Amino acid sequence: MIADIGCELIHSSYVIRLINPYARVIAIDIFEAAIRRAKELYESDPNIEFIVADATMLPMRSNSLDLVVSFELYGHLEAPIRMIKEVHHVLKPRGILFITTDNARSLGAIIKGDRWVTLQDETRISLTSPEQLKANLMRVGFNIVKCITHGFSILNTIENILNCILCAPLGLGAEIIIVAEKRS
């Protein structure tokens, strides 16, 4: 079973179902209007369940999910660590969390400063770096399987060149992407 937390109109849930037609996906968002619209778009899919819920208080049993995905929700939460703890609680041992969020240390943030587009989003409450997010996940009980940053192709190219010169990954992409496994 898969949960898509902060799914908005659940296009990501639908893509998961396209990739794995046998998957059962629970699309979760705190906004009732988003879930109502998602139902209009995807209600014909019997393997997508729609739930209005807070990401820090998920209505699932402990150790019940195989995979949780959370795209771009982390930075919109007042207490993102509470969401990580809740995800840890509902994932089965060795369950996977796939999480993305904006990178406070991205090349765009460095170059643009206060004019960085992410800072113009009034719903964004917090920003984090790859190291901070990894540390938060490990503190809660996750092992990091993969951590990358991703951005526009020119930024990826610049970062790859700098990584080779410095012999260390800088993590300058606009988005942090982490795959983490719940420790058993």
Could you tell me the CATH number of the domain that includes residue 106? 3.40.50.150
Q: Specify if 103 maps to a domain.
A: yes
pLDDT of residue 38: 87
Q: DSSP character for 47?
A: T
Q: What mean pLDDT is predicted for residues 93-120?
A: 79
Q: How confident is the model over 32-89, as pLDDT tens digits?
A: 998 998 888 888 889 999 999 999 999 999 999 999 999 999 998 999 999 999 999 9
Contact 104, 128 (CB under 8 A): yes
Count of structural domains within the chain: 1
Q: Specify if 62 maps to a domain.
A: yes
The rounded percent of the chain whose pLDDT value lies above 70 is 83
pLDDT of residue 184: 81
Range of 160's domain?
Answer: 54-182
Q: Specify if 17 maps to a domain.
A: no
Q: Specify if 178 maps to a domain.
A: yes
Burial of 103 (0-12, 13-18, 19+ CB in 10 A): buried
164 φ/ψ angles, rounded to the nearest 5 degrees: -65, -45
Q: What mean pLDDT is predicted for residues 2-23?
A: 87
Residue 169 confidence (pLDDT) above 60 = no
Q: Specify if 4 maps to a domain.
A: no
Q: Specify if 42 maps to a domain.
A: no
pLDDT of residue 2: 95
pLDDT of residue 119: 58
Q: Specify if 35 maps to a domain.
A: no
Q: Specify if 26 maps to a domain.
A: no
